[in-house]
Amino acid sequence: MGSLMSCLSDPIPSGNRSPPPQPKRRSSTSSRGRGGGGRDSAKASVSIDEEALTAAAALVLGQRGASGGLGAFERSASVRYAAKRQSQGPPLPRSCSTRPRSLADPELQPQQLLAKDLNTKDLETNVIVLVHGGGFGAWCWYKTISLLEDSGFKVNAIDLTGSGIHHYDTNKISSLSEYAEPLTSYLKGLGDAEKVILVAHDLGGACVSYAMEMFPSRVAKAVFLCAAMLANGNSALDMFQKQMDTNGTLQKAQEFVYSNGKDRPPTAINIDRASLRDLLFNQSPSKDVSLASVSMRPIPFAPVLEKLVLTAENYGSVRRFYVETTEDNTIPLPLQQSMCGANPPEKVLRLKGADHAPFFSKPQALHKTLVEIATMPHVRAS
């Protein structure tokens, strides 16, 4: 360490400089051998030592600036001697201190790269309202909220009745209108000229469809994210019944709650905690699965049973988009495609590798998709 520090210290002024001591030559076992072979090995050892000292001195002198300070490091040996290195084997990668900066480097945040030239003030609306699915709450959107706000959007994540931190007892919810009341109250409070983009997940699709029918002039676009996008006269139960016919995953995971007695219809549905990962979060990070396991609440049963009344004049006047999730075990891709076929949206987009919780498993891809939808201009029919 002392030798290294002396090499990096400021040079002694030329007037007081004394001749440097001659370096001692390192002995080696080969130099002690007898005969011509021993002498040749000793010469080789001395030559290597001298080359090493010369290279070290050149490196230190090359790094000194005119003022005596240390300059920038030179490019790594793997770059300066690339040709020699290639003859010995595969080339080494250039060090991050010398190679040109790439998009993979974290100088810019990912959300800045996705929407760096976006001016949300030029859009029809820059307000996005996130509506969670059954059992979830506003908490599930934490990644999406951050990404959208960093891109310039105004974001509201709503807790439906009896969900998230909403204090109401889930078992007492008796209708879809009661379940969706926080959403409809928000839309009712908007000004006459104000519009928002609604993003629905899972059972939240039924709530958003209900809100579109009630307040079509307040909704610029509706995005159904692996959600229940139901046709007129259908219920969420009709959709989930088709899923049960496809595989038994959902049926095995659900636990009915009978708060009014076993002789009365169920009041809520619980998801078995042991089945959460396989059913909802099969592609999501473990930390988000842990968050969900302590945050999810029962799903009210009455809204699942209720059949929607939707009209072309109201619900049909709002632009709709559907976002498919390819690794979804709750609403499998064929069922999502079936809903789109029965009730076609303006456009269908897809998140590859996403499970039923894309806000956990594919947050960046979801963000990019939502920005794409938000900036999509209206195409007038010819």
Q: What is the pLDDT of residues 126-171, one digit of tens each?
A: 999 999 999 999 999 999 999 999 999 999 999 999 999 999 999 9
- The answer to the question of residue 94 being in a domain is no
Nearest Cα residue to 135 out of 210, 234, 202, 180 = 202
Cα angle value 140/146/152 (rounded, 5°): 135
User: What pLDDT is recorded for position 241?
Assistant: 80
Active site residue 117: no
Separation between Cα atoms, residue 356 and residue 271, nearest integer Å: 14
Cα torsion for 53, 57, 60, 61, to the nearest 10°?
Answer: -170
Active site residue 356: yes
Nearest Cα residue to 155 out of 371, 361, 372 = 371
CB neighbourhood size of 378 (10 A): 9
Q: Which domain holds residue 176?
A: 118-375
User: What pLDDT is recorded for position 16?
Assistant: 47
Separation between Cα atoms, residue 269 and residue 170, nearest integer Å: 10
- The answer to the question of residue 64 being in a domain is no
Q: Which of 132, 201, 202, 355 is catalytic?
A: 202
Cα angle value 45/46/47 (rounded, 5°): 90
Q: Which of 132, 201, 356, 367 is catalytic?
A: 356
How large is the angle between the packed helices 142-150 and 363-374, nearest 10 degrees? 50
Report yes or no: 97 and 73 within 8 Å, Cβ to Cβ.
Answer: yes
Contacts 24+ apart (CB under 8 A), 312-318: 313/216, 314/212, 314/213, 314/214, 314/216, 315/209, 315/212, 315/213, 315/216, 315/232, 317/216, 318/212, 318/216, 318/219, 318/220, 318/221, 318/222
What tokens does 155 get?
């974001």
- Residue 136 has, within 13 A of its CA and on its CB side, a CA count of 27
Report yes or no: 251 and 229 within 8 Å, Cβ to Cβ.
Answer: no
320 backbone dihedrals φ, ψ, rounded to 5°: -120, 145
Q: Per DSSP, what are the bridge partners of residue 158?
A: 131
Burial of 46 (0-12, 13-18, 19+ CB in 10 A): middle
* pLDDT beneath 50, residues of the chain: 1-18, 21, 23-37, 60-87, 92-99, 101-108, 110-113, 382
Give the H or E element holding residue 154.
strand 154-158
- The answer to the question of residue 21 being in a domain is no
User: What pLDDT is recorded for position 348?
Assistant: 98
Active site residue 202: yes
Separation between Cα atoms, residue 62 and residue 80, nearest integer Å: 14
- The answer to the question of residue 263 being in a domain is yes
Instruction: Kindly report the CATH number assigned to the domain that includes residue 244.
Output: 3.40.50.1820
- Neighbour-count burial for 75-85, b at 16+ CB within 10 Å, e otherwise: ebeebeeeeee
Cα torsion for 23, 29, 33, 36, to the nearest 10°?
Answer: -60
- The answer to the question of residue 65 being in a domain is no
Q: Which of 132, 328, 355, 367 is catalytic?
A: 328
- The answer to the question of residue 91 being in a domain is no
- The answer to the question of residue 125 being in a domain is yes
Dihedral sign for Cα 185, 186, 187, 190, please: positive
Report yes or no: 196 and 269 within 8 Å, Cβ to Cβ.
Answer: no
How far is C-alpha 245 from the chain's CA centre? 32
Helix (H, G, I), strand (E, B) or coil at 131: strand
User: What pLDDT is recorded for position 34?
Assistant: 43
Q: Count the domains in the chain.
A: 1
pTM for this model (two decimals) = 0.71
What tokens does 269 get?
């549905």
- The answer to the question of residue 236 being in a domain is yes
Q: DSSP class of residue 354?
A: -
